Amino acid sequence: MDPAGLVWIVTGGSSGLGKAVADALVAKQGLVAVLDLNASSDGNKPEDKVAYFQCDVGDEESVKAALEGVKALWKGKKWGGVVHAAGVGMAGKTVGNDGTPFSFDIFQQVHRINLLGSYLIASNVAAVLASQRGPLPRNVTDPSTIKDAGVIILTSSVSATEGQMGQVAYASSKAGVEGLVLPMARDLARYGIRVMNIAPSLFSTAMGKGTSDKVRQGLLATTLHPPRFGEAPEFAKLALAIIDNSYLNGGTLRIDGGGRMAKM
């Protein structure tokens, strides 16, 4: 799928992985709507190609209002899909050193943003994509004539399957994101919409730099090659490769330098 001339939703696009994706899509002549709680222009992107919408991805009204704003701005323009990179990470053990359980309020907040936000963004963007073409015909004589109606790319984490100590909220929320992918791809196949997920390890973003030195050193020790943390443009390249490759659907791709997380 060629991203040029299509509207792309990028959540968390004001910084980190999302910003790298937004930059890459603009370079491919896409129209990018950045949805971010702290949405603000960096001044380096053409105003006719990028627009910013304040959005809390875990709040249904906020998501719907932002997407309505996108529709109004680029009325009549065809949408290509979404790269959902927004998320939070809040550490805490199930039972802390003081003997108290991890805050249920924080646990809920992590799931609201990471898991419920993924569903809210994906389902509402999918509704727009589905409306652009409708269900595919049942009897197709030449499958090669069927083109993508859109692409939904979610973001989980290698923590979804290798959660470390202190990641009970984060890891479970990201495992939930991975659980969305295949059933959602099956739901949306009749419209020609693909659904994929990227599971990154630690990247050199604000979230990655916010981890403790002990955790960073432990992760780096298990990384095979290259022996460093990921860079945001590498994540963006993978997102664009998914958009381009129509046979990628219903799965999760790790981007981790071959590393595996230890228990802490």
Residues 160-189: pLDDT tens digits? Answer: 999 888 999 999 999 999 999 999 999 999
Buried-exposed string 227-263: b where 16+ CB fall within 10 A, e elsewhere: eebbebeebbebbbebbeeeebbbebbbbbbebebee
* Greater pLDDT, 67 or 90: 67
Mean pLDDT of 216-231: 85
- The full set of domain ranges for the chain reads 7-133+147-255
Cα Rg of the chain, angstroms:
18
Q: In 3D, which of 83, 72, 67, 86 has the Cα closest to residue 26?
A: 83
**Residue 147 pLDDT class (50, 70, 90 cuts):** confident
- Look up the CATH number of domain 7-133+147-255: 3.40.50.720
Query: Where residue 40 falls among pLDDT bands split at 50, 70, 90?
Result: confident
170 is catalytic: yes
63-87 pLDDT per residue, tens: 999 999 999 999 999 999 999 999 9
Most confident of the following: 17-26, 145-154, 159-168: 17-26
For residues 42 and 52, give the distance between their C-alpha atoms in angstroms, rounded to a whole number: 10
- Average pLDDT of span 95-105: 95
The catalytically annotated residue of 52, 119, 170, 247 is 170
